[in-house]
Every structure is written in C-alpha cells, then in structure tokens.
Structure 1
Amino acid sequence: MEGIAEGAGLDLLDILALNCRSEIALGKFSDGCTTLSWKKNDNARVLSQNWDWTKTVSKNLAMVSIEQPGKPTIYMVTEAGIVGKIGFNTAGVGACLNAIRAKPMISSKIPIHVALRLCLESDSAEAAVKTLELIGGVASAQHILIADSTTALGLELSPVGNKYIPEDASGIVGHTNHFIENRYVDEPPWLSGSPIRLRRLGELTQGLIANGVEGDAITPSLLRERVFSDTFNAPQSICCEEDPSRDISNRSSSLFNIVMNLDAKNVSAEVVFGRVGSGEEGPVLKMPW
C-alpha cells in the first residue's frame, strides 16, 4: 500500500481507505457475484466467477502480476489500488469473492481485500485457511472460495465466527451472495436473486454432469457458454444485467468472468471483460501473459 501511494502521488491513508472499501460501502450498495469450483480430477480444480458491480467501476479494473521474493507470483483481476482480489498464484492457489451484507463489522480485524492478498500469497488452500485463523479473522462478513489442485473450500467468513463448506458429492462448491451455513451474524435479506442464482447454478452444473461432462471437458469456454452466460431470473441472473428500476449509481451488471485452471502441470486462467454471452463482451485474455 505504501508503494501504491508513492507511485500514485497519494496519501497512504487514501490507499488504506480504498482497501477497506468493502467494509465501508457494503451497507449502501447492491452487489452480486456467482462463484464455482469444480473438481476435474484428484489433482486439478477449475475455479471460476462472474464479478458483478456498477459499470462505473469497469474503467478501474486491471489485470496484474505481483512478484515477491520467497512467495508465489500472483496473477489477479483487481480494482486499481486494491492489493488483493480475484485470481491465482504460481503455487496453484486461487481465490474468488462473494460480497455478503451482514452485521457486525469489527474494525480491529483485517479488511477482506487484505485477507484475499494473504490467500494469494499462500502455498496451499490449507495454508491460506490457517493464516486467516491465525490472524483472528476478518473485519466483515464475506465469502472467499479458496482452492488449489487438490482442495476447494467455501470460506463463509465473519468477525464472530466462520463456517467452511467442502466439495459436494459431485466435487462442486458453488456460492452467491448469502451465507449458506454461517449463522453467527445478523444477515437480513438483501438480494432476492441470490438464492435463485445459487439454485440455478446447481441445476446447470448437475445438468452438465448428467450429460457426461467431467474432467478435461470442464473448459473455460464451456463454463462461459453454459453457466456464466445464463440469464434466468434476469436482471438478477448469473449473467447479471442492469436493473433499470434502480438508481443509476446502484445498478449492477457482470463486469468480468474469470476461469482458473488449478492444475500443477498447467496453472492458468482466462478472463473476459463484460457480460459473457451478451455479444458485447471483450476478447478472451490469458493469465499468465
């Protein structure tokens, strides 16, 4: 954060506040993201997400690589100035994020974007979980889907207690913007489409499994075309559309899709900016580049 502040000619506290923006802003805005981890085999997982927020943020998105001595190299999609977000590292650890609106928020604990950075500096999913437990948890209720080549866990995190969701019988962990198991927090309903998206995610993935999709057939293009472009229950769909009934400052849509291949033999990702399947999305970009 000090380096970002110096490079941008800003005060360190400005960058610190930016990295607390989820804790500051979640009481006021509407978000929505859909995350999925899918086991390809015992030594490979696919980790993927649509990230939804207001279109005004899209110009601030950046694909970055971060090299640090003695740590894995990080590749992630983030908002400029934010030190940890959605991506993976060369050790094969990946992280996705679902925003949750719940109380309490405890400011003495670490912001979720710092927690994401710690996950992306880890050598394994297990090590990431141990780090988060060692530092005493996070400041606000959030869900991090953490995975490596052999493990995937849905981390329903909060300042007052965590719940971890393992892979189901199909090797899948799916999540949207409400807690499934964590009852430690006060979480009033705030996105009516979140449970619908989660059910739809299950229907789509189970339908693919029933049609014989497994292993290497679980490709980025398949997930973009058959899952993340889905518009069921629009505008609050997996491929989120702007809701014209909301104020312009509070309309969400899917701003990017990422599909990570967490395989020790080929750790990589594909990123598409915009709403996949809409005809207006950008080209497929690769990480590493």
Structure 2
Amino acid sequence: MIRYDIHGSTPRERGIDRGRQVGGIVREHWGIHQVLFRAVGRSDEATLALGLASLEAIGDWWPEAREEIEGVAEGAGLDLSIVAALNARTELLIAADGHECTSVAMNAPYPAQVQTWDWHRELNRAWHVQRVTGHGIAYAGLTEHGILAKIGRNDSGVGIIISILSHEADAPGRVPIHAVSHRVLSQARSLAEAREILLSAPVGASTVFTVVAPDGIGSFELSPVGAAELDPLGRWYIHSNHFISPELSGGSQTFRNDPDSEERLLMLRERIAREPQIRSAADLAPMLHSGPEDIGNICCVPTADQPLGRAWETQATVWMTAAEMTISAGSPRDLATAEQIRFAGREE
C-alpha cells in the first residue's frame, strides 16, 4: 500500500503538500477517469464544468475545503477543474453501472465497524493510505489520489465509513460526499458533532455514512431530498447499496443497477441473526467474506475478460473502533496474507 503523510498549518498549505505528493499519479490515471466519465455520457468539457460547480457548492458549505482543493491543484501543477472533478467523481458517475461497498457495524459490546471498498481494477494504484496533520483534528484513513478524504478515523476517536446509494434526485453540482467525509474527520469530536455536519450537507450523490465515536455509533442515509438516521437491527447496522429508511426509499434506485444489493443485505441479516461473538473489530471483517457458494457477492473479483468500467474489484477492507483502525489491502478473502496498516490512539 502507498502511504502519504500530509501536513499543513492552513488548508491551502495542506492541499499544496498533498498535490506535490500525488500529482504524478493523478496525471497517470486521469485518462482512465475521463473514459469512465465519457461512458456515462459526460463530455470532457461538461465533466470539468460540473467539477467546478461542485467546487462552488463546497465553498458555500465549507470554504476551507475549497481552499484545500485549490492548494492540491497548485501543488500538483494541475488545472483546478481536474482536481475539482476528481473530488466530485462519485457525483459525476452516478449513472454508471457497477458494484459498490458493503458495511457492518455494531453498537455492543462496544462501537465498531467494517467495510469493503470496491472500485475499478484499472484504478487499483490510484488510492493510498494517509495521515493528515497540522490543521483541525489530525486523522488517518484511505482515499484516492487527489481526493481529500474517504474512509478514516480522527484523533478524537471519530471514524467514518461509506456506502453509496442511488436516488432519482441525484445530480452533480452539489457538495461531494468525499468533502462531507473530510469535514467529519477534520472537525467532529463526537457522534453528536458528526451528526450535525452530516445533516447539514447538501449532497448530490446519495450515501450512507456510518460513524463510530467515543459517545456511540450512528448510521445516516443522505440524499438530495433529505436525510434519515437509521435504527439498528438489535445491536447491528448493516448496509449494501439501496435505501433502508422508509422516508427516502420511495425515490431509491439500486445503486448503478447493482444486481445483488438486496441479496448482500439478506446474507448479512442471516449472519447477524447467528449473534456472532466479536472480540475485536478485526472479527467483523470475516462477516464480509463471500465466495461462489454465497447468495451475495460482497468480495468483488474481476475476470480477465471484463473491460474498463466493468471490472469491479474489492481493493481494501477497513475496520475500526473509536480507539483504533486497520486498513487491509484487498478483500476479506485476502485477510491471512494481506498487507495491513494500523493506526491507534493519537499518532504524531
């Protein structure tokens, strides 16, 4: 796994530091992103214009994140519209077919959570592990090159995982979900503060954010038409890629025509019904293991004949509590041999 340590006493300085470190890989993979954007009917000009529109929305909601993205472009020597489009890539690809992340969380005997992260095979070198310090609350996590944040845990013990949803009202040009995750990691010191940030975000791409914190755990479905806080199933929160809340499910569209979102959720329901013994957050990861014998395909393993845009791959598995987080390369099938990076407590 690639790791970057990113530092800056201001958002702009932190962005410049990030840009200097990731600019080469962003250039290397930008062409792949362009192919994906074109595949959903977006011209290069429209992609860049919508990226800048999303940047304006970020600036209205949280000016510091706009400054940081501007710093990334400066440090990387890239046009601002490219970096803005990368940070809004989920919103720009909402019409694409595909497969996305699955998550499990529990609130007893202590808050803990795990997720798989699925993305295109051709972009399996376009993400990294990061430790971000110098402004706001320091945090660590996993993100893509050029994108400020995704999955992570901060030094106040607030951690966030993400599964993408789909709603008929989804559209680019609003606040990108990755900016929302970045703000939670940079500012939230409790579940209550994370909830306030999440419910204030005018998102363009529907998403479920699950947050673990010293004061508890919560799961929140967000869409352009509203937000809902989910109730647990006993001590569990489970999610694939369709809405669960009655308030938002009326406009739900199974994410990217995902063929097995319902099956994955059913499989997880069956697993939690057995009340597995969880001694540590790492024990949650095997719950997301899937193979040919299972009804749901949580672990994505692409085949050689699948073209760009169809070759979905589980590139990482992340589990965490308020006290620690582990990022494991690959899927839950790979846990015995995978490279892993652990963050615990307050690291300097």
TM, length-normalised to structure 2: 0.72
Checking the alignment, whether the CA contact within 8 Å between 1:67 and 1:74 is kept in structure 2 is: yes
Select which of 95, 101, 113 maps to 1:33: 101
Query: How many pairs are equivalent?
Result: 273
Cα deviation digits, residues 243-275 of structure 1 (max 9, x gap): 67854431212110011122xxxx211111112
Distance 1:112 1:281 in 2: 32
Deviation at 1:281, TM superposition (A): 5.3
| Equivalent runs, 1:165-244 vs 2, <5 Å | 165-169=230-234, 171-181=235-245, 182-183=248-249, 185-187=251-253, 190-209=257-276, 213-214=277-278, 217-220=279-282, 222-224=283-285, 226-231=286-291, 237-242=297-302
Which amino acid is the alignment partner of residue 48 of structure 1?
Answer: V
Structure 1 runs not aligned, ≥5 long: none
Is 2:69 the counterpart of 1:8? no
- Identical positions, percent: 23
Which amino acid is the alignment partner of residue 33 of structure 1?
Answer: C
Q: What is residue 329 of structure 2 aligned with on the other side?
A: 273
Q: What is residue 37 of structure 2 aligned with on the other side?
A: none
- Structure (1 or 2) with the larger CA radius of gyration: 2
Deviation at 1:57, TM superposition (A): 1.6
Checking the alignment, whether the CA contact within 8 Å between 1:105 and 1:140 is kept in structure 2 is: yes
| Equivalent runs, 1:4-153 vs 2, <5 Å | 4-41=72-109, 44-69=110-135, 71-107=136-172, 109-121=174-186, 122-135=188-201, 137-153=202-218
Which amino acid is the alignment partner of residue 145 of structure 2?
Answer: A
SS of corresponding position for 1:33: coil
Deviation at 1:276, TM superposition (A): 2.7
Distance 2:213 2:340 in 1: 23
Between 1:234-243 and 1:251-260, the stretch displaced more is 234-243
SS of corresponding position for 1:59: coil
Distance 2:266 2:338 in 1: 28
Distance 2:296 2:232 in 1: 25
Cα deviation digits, residues 122-169 of structure 1 (max 9, x gap): 11222122123335x211211111221332222111011112113232
Checking the alignment, whether the CA contact within 8 Å between 1:77 and 1:86 is kept in structure 2 is: yes
Deviation at 1:107, TM superposition (A): 4.3
Distance 2:96 2:294 in 1: 22
Which amino acid is the alignment partner of residue 242 of structure 1?
Answer: P
Checking the alignment, whether the CA contact within 8 Å between 1:32 and 1:98 is kept in structure 2 is: yes
Q: What is residue 60 of structure 2 aligned with on the other side?
A: none
Cα deviation digits, residues 205-247 of structure 1 (max 9, x gap): 33243xxx14xx1341x233x3122225669512222267854
Q: What is residue 285 of structure 1 aligned with on the other side?
A: 341
Checking the alignment, whether the CA contact within 8 Å between 2:91 and 2:171 is kept in structure 1 is: no
Between 1:156-165 and 1:235-244, the stretch displaced more is 235-244
Between 1:58-67 and 1:139-148, the stretch displaced more is 139-148
Checking the alignment, whether the CA contact within 8 Å between 1:39 and 1:46 is kept in structure 2 is: yes
TM, length-normalised to structure 1: 0.85
Distance 1:208 1:55 in 2: 34
Which amino acid is the alignment partner of residue 5 of structure 1?
Answer: A
Deviation at 1:98, TM superposition (A): 0.9
User: Which protein is richer in helix relative to its size?
Assistant: 2
Distance 2:71 2:228 in 1: 34
Checking the alignment, whether the CA contact within 8 Å between 2:242 and 2:254 is kept in structure 1 is: no
Cα deviation digits, residues 177-224 of structure 1 (max 9, x gap): 111112353525721211111111222233243xxx14xx1341x233
Which amino acid is the alignment partner of residue 147 of structure 1?
Answer: V
Checking the alignment, whether the CA contact within 8 Å between 1:111 and 1:140 is kept in structure 2 is: yes
